[in-house]
Every structure is written in C-alpha cells, then in structure tokens.
C-alpha cells in the first residue's frame, strides 16, 4: 500500500504528487494521458494502470482534475465504488459550493470519508510556507490528513465542517479580483474618453497588483500573456462558475453576468488566448454602439 494516491497529473496534480514524494510519502499516481505518469515514476512514485488500481493502492486519494464532472466520471463505476468504503477522498479540484456539497454527499453515500479543498496558489508555489490551502470536512478526517496536507501548503486553513465553505471562499476571492479587474478596465475607459493618461492611471495603482498590470497592458495596447496574466479563456471559466453559484444559491448575479457576457464577446472576437485585459476593446465597441 502507498500512503496516498494522486489522481490527475496536470500542472497542479503533478506539483502535489512531487511535493508529497519530496516529503517522503509513498505515492501512487494515475492520469488519463499516461505520458504524465512517467516523470513522477522517475521521481519515485508508483504508476497505476487504472483508476481502480490507483484507488486500491492507498487509503487516501487526492483528486485534482479539470472539474467535478470528470472526477465523478472517474469514480462512479461499479468496480470502484465499493473501494471507497472506509477510504478518504480529498477533492482538490476547483468547483462551485454546490458541486463540493454534491461530491461530499456522493462519497459519503459510498461509505467514504470526504474533504473538500481549494488551492489558492500556482503549482510552482505548492509546498512552500506561503502556499494557502483551504480545507473543509469532518474534523477527525481533517486531523488524520493534517500532516499530509500541511506539506502541500504551509498556510493550511481548516474552515470547519461546512463542506461548501472552501469553494465558497475561493469564489468570494475571485469576485474580489474580478471586480477590481473590471473596475480598472472601466477606469481606463474613462481616462481614454476624457483625454487623461492611462500610463498615469497605471502609475497610481499598487505595484505588483493585477489591476496595475491591466492598466499597463491597456496603455501599451499589448495583450500578450505575461507572468501576471489571466487569459480570456480562464476568466470566462471563472465568470461562468460565479454565475453558476449565483443561480444555485439564488443570489444576485449582475456582476457575474456582466463579466461573462463581456468575456464571451471577447473570446468570440478571437481574444480568448490573450490577457483578459483585452476586454477593453469590447467595452470601447459597446460604448460606440450605444451612442449610435
């Protein structure tokens, strides 16, 4: 048996598995595309040939794939579900609070223990003292996994037993970023309309903050992806998640609706691969259209 299994070896899952290996845990890994398994086997992991073998190999499985539907599709098979009895599933895939709740309920129904988490850093920061990871679930289950999770992020926060809370706080922080980003973009629109300098506007914004990057990109009219970037495709996914949560929870969705509609237009115009600040082009066009 291994100490832990990691399912999903994208950028994040690979970073998680590698960090666990560095901390001397025995790790079994599985990924849909087998070529991502090999580098981890070289680093000391055991490669599993199937999801069944991967779950069977450890009493704790970390799942980190693109979304919850994929996670469910991987686990919901008649040969795999009996294996979940008594095992712990740690879901580190990003999702909505409802998805977290549904996922926890499903694992519990199979007799498994469930923790849901949100990773608040990039893969390159996993395992550092600053890496923040938010976790929710039964306290005893969390305590049993505290050491394991603690090596993934020095700033590990247990949020309590509300299984939806990690996903909720993740979304809350995304709202804050999105509001600032959109606000900054509208600010640049005001500068342009009034003949004020967007460069001066950028210089008034805090160094290192995404909002400053946005104003600088708009001033330079260069929306290539850089170190501090979020692509239009990524932001569209985030906005869709915000809208979905708002609808699930019946809260106002005006900001999510605006962000999603702008990002859709931007991506349909072929800008999805560029920095999301390129949405200023859509706002300029909208303004002109509204005037006519």
Ligand X SMILES: NC(=O)c1ccc[n+]([C@@H]2O[C@H](COP(=O)([O-])OP(=O)(O)OC[C@H]3O[C@@H](n4cnc5c(N)ncnc54)[C@H](OP(=O)(O)O)[C@@H]3O)[C@@H](O)[C@H]2O)c1
Place of tokens 């005006």: 254
Which residue's Cβ lies closest to ligand X? 10
Query: Which helix (H) or strand (E) element contains residue 81?
Result: helix 81-84
Compare residues 65 and 156 and give the one whose CB is closer to ligand X.
Answer: 65
8: left (phi over 0), alpha (psi -120 to 50) or beta: left
CB 122 → ligand X: shortest distance, Å? 4
Strand 113-119, strand 60-63: pairing: unpaired
CB 154 → ligand X: shortest distance, Å? 16
Alpha carbon distance 257, 280 (integer Å): 17
Q: Footprint of ligand X on this chain (CB under 6 A)? A: 8-13, 31-33, 36, 64-66, 70, 74, 93-94, 119, 122-123
Q: What are phi and psi of 290, to 5 degrees?
A: -65, -35
CB 84 → ligand X: shortest distance, Å? 18
CB 14 → ligand X: shortest distance, Å? 7
**Residues 6+ away with beta carbon under 8 Å from 227:** none
Compare residues 31 and 211 and give the one whose CB is closer to ligand X.
Answer: 31
Task: Kindly list the distances between the CA atom of residue 218 and the CA atoms of 82, 199, 221, in Å, as whole numbers in the listed order.
Answer: 54, 9, 5
Compare residues 70 and 81 and give the one whose CB is closer to ligand X.
Answer: 70
Compare residues 33 and 289 and give the one whose CB is closer to ligand X.
Answer: 33
Compare residues 166 and 191 and give the one whose CB is closer to ligand X.
Answer: 166
CB 121 → ligand X: shortest distance, Å? 7
Alpha carbon distance 118, 95 (integer Å): 9
b/e per residue, 86-102, with b = 16+ CB within 10 A? ebbbbbbbbbbbbbbbb
Compare residues 10 and 44 and give the one whose CB is closer to ligand X.
Answer: 10
Identify the CA nearest to 90 among candidates 174, 26, 152: 152
Identify the CA nearest to 1 among candidates 53, 41, 49: 53
Strand-pairing partners, residue 5, are 28, 61
Q: Helix 165-194 crosses helix 210-220 at what angle (to 10 degrees)?
A: 40
Compare residues 83 and 230 and give the one whose CB is closer to ligand X.
Answer: 230
CB 185 → ligand X: shortest distance, Å? 22
Compare residues 32 and 284 and give the one whose CB is closer to ligand X.
Answer: 32
């Amino acid at each position: 048996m291994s100490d832990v299994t990691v399912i999903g070896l994208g950028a994040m899952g690979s970073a998680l598995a590698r960090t666990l290996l560095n901390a001397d845990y025995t790790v079994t890994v599985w990924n849909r595309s087998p070529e991502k398994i090999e580098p981890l086997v070289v680093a000391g992991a055991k490669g599993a040939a199937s999801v069944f073998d991967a779950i069977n190999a450890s009493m704790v499985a970390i799942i980190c794939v693109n979304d919850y539907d994929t996670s469910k599709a991987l686990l919901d098979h008649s040969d795999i579900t009996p294996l979940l009895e008594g095992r712990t599933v740690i879901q580190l895939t990003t999702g909505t609070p409802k998805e977290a709740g549904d996922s926890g309920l499903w694992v519990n129904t199979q007799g498994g223990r469930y923790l849901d988490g949100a990773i608040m850093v990039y893969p390159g920061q996993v395992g550092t003292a600053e890496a923040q990871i938010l976790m929710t679930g039964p306290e005893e289950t969390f305590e049993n996994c505290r050491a394991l999770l603690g090596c993934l992020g020095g700033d590990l926060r247990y949020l309590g037993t509300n299984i939806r809370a990690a996903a909720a706080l993740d979304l809350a922080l995304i709202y804050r970023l999105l509001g600032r980003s959109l606000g900054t973009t509208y600010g640049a629109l005001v500068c342009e309309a009034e003949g004020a300098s967007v460069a001066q506007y950028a210089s008034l914004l805090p160094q290192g903050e995404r909002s400053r990057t946005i104003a600088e990109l708009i001033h330079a009219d260069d929306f290539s992806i850089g170190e501090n970037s979020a692509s239009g495709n990524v932001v569209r996914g985030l906005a869709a998640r915000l809208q979905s949560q708002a609808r699930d929870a019946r809260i106002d969705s005006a900001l999510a609706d605006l962000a999603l509609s702008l990002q859709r237009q931007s991506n349909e115009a072929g800008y999805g691969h560029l920095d999301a600040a390129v949405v200023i082009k859509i706002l300029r066009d909208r303004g002109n259209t509204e005037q006519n």
